Amino acid sequence: MQSPRRISVIFGTRPEAVKLCPLIHALERHSDLSPHVCVTGQHRELLDQVLEAFDVVPDVNLNLMQPGQTLSSLSARAISGCDQYLADAKPDLVVVQGDTSTVFCAALASFYRRIPVAHVEAGLRTWNNDSPFPEEINRVLTTRLAAYHFAPTEQAKANLLRDGVAEESVFVTGNTVIDALHLAVERVRQQPPEIPDLPKRFLSRTSDRRMVLVTAHRRENFGAGFESLCRGIALLAHRFPDVDFVYPVHLNPNVREPVNRILSGKPNVHLIKPLGYLPFVAVLEACYLVLTDSGGVQEEAPSLGKPVLVMRDTTERPEAVAMGTVRLVGTDTQTIVRHVSELLQDHHAYGLMSRAANPYGDGRAVPRIIDKLAEFPNIKAELLRLKIAA
């Protein structure tokens, strides 16, 4: 009897963990597939929160995170660490997700060892190498290295075909973030989490105060962009004293300094510590609208009927923009104020965005990916048989 094929799942950040943990559990339940989990620790504390929420214990932790690390130093350590891990683990296939430095480095190390790579959430594009930075280049390069591409939407598939990827290696599955969100919503409704920095009324469905959830941390917004968006939030807080602005502030000093300087001390602006995944989902479900520069929130919020204003000039997720549930507003202070004010004051405009459908899936992406992984041939064994492996 043939032993289960070993599938190495490599990731390093909170968003990757959210989108891969449901897949890891599905792999564990499959008789012919055996997961082996390697985390790089690119985001140490935020990553651990998600692993605990989903009850996933890594087999290997490379612990790459260092204070003040540059992209180059991180990438060098990630490639070397992943290479040694692959030499020891000897997987038949490597799974990566998204567009982080971990994704590209793991794909490159796998390519060097002639181990096929399956890329989850493949095909996202802005066609602008500087936005988001460095994620656009990470995912483009990962596309060139991957053998299999799990595209979340038909648009993502079209992007891959435009990049010259063979159609038979592309599979439209939906986004695994919706699978994770469905699991999380069920859990937080059964047992609402305690959030020490927020009064319980913030999560109450009967509260008479509306909440705007703010998430902002993008590298390309550092500096002038952050100054501008923080001024926009400050003006909104002054204009709408009956609305609470809740901002889980990223740990990066480039985020914390302008946020604390411009927004601290305002009575209806609540600067709180980064949230674990389940508390974040609880706040997301309770909020009125989302103001963000994140990628994943653009996918999650529409499932809960929350309008999303994206503080970026481009997005690799244009489907929700086309359907009307997401709107690009950039980082200009007055533009942010105008769009948020419209949604807070115009019930018709709010209703149009909150009722828009979610184009990112039905919560069944994981079983579709599992079905394909089970079908794939053991490419590594085939390469060895043909004596063309390195």
Catalytic residues, by residue number, are 99, 121, 135, 217, 219, 250
Tokens read off for 244: 């609470």
Partners of 248 in the beta sheet? 272
Measured between alpha carbons, how far is 57 from 71 in angstroms, rounded to an integer? 27
Tokens read off for 77: 């350590």
Closest CA to 45 of 67, 22, 24, 25: 67
Measured between alpha carbons, how far is 223 from 83 in angstroms, rounded to an integer? 35
What does each C-alpha distance from 95 to 20, 71, 170, 358, 367 come to in angstroms?
Answer: 9, 22, 14, 25, 15
Q: Where are the alpha helices (DSSP H) in 264-377?
A: 277-286, 296-300, 318-323, 333-345, 347-354, 365-375
Cβ pair 243, 268 in contact under 8 A:
yes
